[in-house]
Structure 1
Amino acid sequence: MCKLRLKILASIAMITLLLQGCSMMPEEEELLPPPVKEPEAVEYTTQVIERGDIVNTAKGSGNIGSKKQYSLSFTYRSGYLKSMNVKLGDTVKKGQLIAELDTDSLEKDIQKKQLEIDKIKLELEQLQDQDPSNELERKKLKLEYLEDRKKQFPDEALELDYQIKDLKLEIKDMENQDGDNYSVKVKKKDLEIAQIDLEDLKLTRDKSQIVAPSSGKITYMEEIGIGDYVPALKTLVKVSDPSDLILEYTGGYALKMKVGMPVTATVSGKTVTGEVVTTPSDFPAEEQELRKETAFIKLNKVPEGVEIGDSASFEVVLEQKEDVLLVPKRAVIQYMGIYTARVLSEDNIRSEKDIEVGIETATQYEVISGLEEGDIVILE
């Protein structure tokens, strides 16, 4: 009984201690609601769409050349090169011998033909010194002889008939003429034929030479040595006429150029104006493959001292318009041929609009449709 009472008292004491411990714990604080954070305002770099002028230019460099340029070759024949009488950069005069093919065999033919002509001339002089009346009598006697022989030898009649016929014509011609007899006329014809042959040989020899068609400067030479075989029509030399200088440009911009486009060029430290005078499509058909990216620019005034081969820089106006809507490139997204402008409304709402563009420069587009003057675009 006494043990039970002790257990009860111990339990009461423990409960009392627990209750006192709970009373000593701090009270929990009431949780506060989280603060409401105002969103930061988005700031854009913008620009107002306005009207203005737009100019699309291209810059490049080229060399001073000549609009009159002659490509020289052996036009009519092939052969082995005998001589090359100029070098790159030489100045030549019209008619000056540039190059020639080996014509040793041709020279021999010319000499032989000249000797043949001299021989015919001697024979002609001898015939002209003879008495025409004696010649006529001799032919008549020969005719009688042939006719008698024809009677005596019928087997030879056919051959004799040809001789008799020719002889009668000669006699008739001599009787009717007041000047040269038949033999003289024939010899003169022989002389004429020989002289024609000689001229043909000389012409062939001349075709074995290249001469300067104009005074100018050698601006191109094919690498070829004496004794090398040269095909006909192969360009060996180019002669440029310095009296008609142009600025020659080769590059991708040539395809965008049109005749008449204004140009500003700098050559020898001086700035001059000019215009495009030849584009790739203006060259002859046989040159278009070679000149597919070439344009000629005519300078209004070539500075003194400028020579063929000098370098020059230029700027050409490809396109230009006045008083058009302009949008900065920074405000436009271009994807697969579609141009989209980032636009900001009056209440600061961002949107996108598809636009149609025209002239393009490094920094701007011409706006054809899709935007209006006063629209605000976002630059990014």
Structure 2
Amino acid sequence: MKTSSPFKMTIVAMLVASSMLLTGCNQANSTTATTTAEAIAAIPVEAVLSRNGEISSSYRTTSTLEARAEAEVISKTTGIVQRIFVEEGDAVEAGQLLAQLDNERQQFNLNKEKAELSRLGSELKRMEEMYQRQLISADVFEKLQWQHDALKASVDLAELALRETEIRAPISGVVARRYAKVGQLVNQHATQSLFYVVSNQQLEAVVYLPEQQLAQAHIGQKALMQFAGMTAFNAELVRISPVVDGQSGTVRAVLKVANKQQQLKPGMFAQVELQFDVKADALLLPKRALMTTDNTQTVFVVNDENKVSRKPVQLGYQSDNTVEILSGLSLGDKVVIAGQSALKDDALVNVVAVREF
């Protein structure tokens, strides 16, 4: 049986259309697969833009505050404590009376010496008149004058002994400890401490700088001192030892800390940052962007096509989280800070976030 010609043409047309449909589907699937492969190949990373900012060259260490001046107050004479005028924590001025020892014996001795001096003074005056009229020899007059001078010295010593029964502050500061008690016998030969006075208007902190930092350290440089639970205090480098410790390889340096408000106390522990130099407009980058390859610091920079290239950089000053870039980067370069361990040159990346620092 023969099939009619129109029927044959219909079958041929259907076969051609099916073939074209299958070809189109294969091409679409191929394009989708390629796009998906490219998306999967892009490595997700985070980046920052290099920027200008301030950074300083500094050295961090720790120290303990010390009083610039301190004194153990002792008695220069023997006696019993009669009165005490200050307590621990009281502010005192140099020369202020802290305690009083019994002084009757010293007062009686002074009165006796003054009476003897007065008697001898009157006698010397009479002898001087007689000497002027040449009624006595020069030898007699000079011997009496020497006796008068010696007795005057005895009066001065008696006055000194009386003053020494008054225990006075040798420096201005704060009474840190009171050892003296009323009725206590004080012995001048026992070097017995009665009070401990510290001057805390100005405190000091001793730090030990490594030998390699010595070239950057100079008198007058500023430092920041951080204490637990308090805001940072400013300090100043005032002394640098001319000798390097051969065992530790460090140099002793002293910082001065103003303490007019009496907030700081001797013995407090501090975190110290000694600032050697400050650059106000340095090119900065986070430290976590750096990678070390063969003792060379490198970073990955993202270009406009989202591909990365490894670039060596030269570092300058460094802080806790930031470094100065001296060469190798330009302002505004997009630098990878997370995910760089899986990268190679010309790798395709997907920048999921551009962070600020």
Summarize the alignment of residues 75-154 of structure 1 with structure 2, pairs less than 5 Å apart. 83=81, 85-92=85-92, 95-99=95-99, 107=105, 111-112=108-109, 115=112, 118-119=115-116, 121-122=118-119, 125=122
Give, as a single letter, the amino acid of the residue that structure 2 aligns with 1:351: R
Question: Is the Cα–Cα contact under 8 Å of residues 50 and 334 in structure 2 kept in the other structure?
Answer: no
Other structure's SS at 2:288 match = helix
Which residue of 351, 356, 359 corresponds with 2:310? 351
Change (3 A) 1:350 1:232: farther
**CA–CA separation in structure 2 for the residues paired with 1:97 and 1:328:** 60
Structure 2 match to 1:189: 146
Indicate if the aligned counterparts of 1:254 and 1:294 stay in contact, CA closer than 8 A.
Answer: no
1:365 to partner: Cα distance: 0.7
Corresponding residue for residue 262 of structure 2 = 308
CA distance in structure 2 between the partners assigned to 1:115 and 1:179 by the alignment: 29
Q: What's the CA shift string for 1:296-337, capped at 9, x where partnerless?
A: 147xxx8xxxx52479x999894542332211111114699x
1:261-306 deviations in Å (ceiling 9; x for gaps) = 498999xx9x9x9954x336279x9xxxxx96654147xxx8xxxx
Q: Helix, strand or coil for the counterpart of 2:86?
A: coil
Cα deviation for residue 115 of structure 1 reads: 3.1
Change (3 A) 1:122 1:308: same
Consecutive unaligned residues of structure 2, counting only runs of 5 or more, are: 1-32, 211-216, 244-251, 339-357
**Unaligned 5+ runs, structure 1:** 1-34, 134-173, 286-290
CA contact (8 A) 1:81 1:230 kept: no
Give aligned pairs, total.
275
Structure 1 or 2, whichever has the larger Rg, is 1
Change (3 A) 1:310 1:376: closer
Determine if contact 1:49/1:372 at 8 Å carries over to the other structure: no
Residue 220 (structure 1) aligned with residue 180 (structure 2): no
Superposed CA RMSD: 6.1
Give distance in 2, aligned partners of 1:112 and 1:184.
27
Report the structure, 1 or 2, having the larger helix content. Answer: 1
Q: Deviations over 1:151-197 (max 9, x none)?
A: xxxxxxxxxxxxxxxxxxxxxxx597489965354223202112113
Checking the alignment, whether the CA contact within 8 Å between 2:72 and 2:196 is kept in structure 1 is: yes
Q: CA deviation at 1:213?
A: 6.0
Output aligned runs, 1:196-211, within 5 Å: 196-203=153-160, 206=163, 209-211=166-168
Change in 2 beyond 3 A, CA 1:264/1:96: closer
Measured at CA, do residues 95 and 128 of structure 1 come closer, stay the same or move farther in structure 2, by a change above 3 Å? Answer: closer
Q: Provide the C-alpha distance between the structure 2 equivalents of 1:372 and 1:339, rounded to a whole number of angstroms.
A: 18
In the alignment, the residues of structure 1 paired with residue 42 and residue 191 of structure 2 have an alpha-carbon distance, to the nearest angstrom, of 76
SS at 2:329's partner residue?
coil
Aligned position for 1:166: none
Question: 2:70 maps to which residue?
Answer: 71
Change in CA separation of 1:125 and 1:326 when aligned onto 2, cut-off 3 Å: closer
Change (3 A) 1:323 1:213: same
User: Equivalent residue for 2:50?
Assistant: 50
The structure in which a higher percent of residues are strand is 2
Return the TM-score normalized by structure 2. 0.50
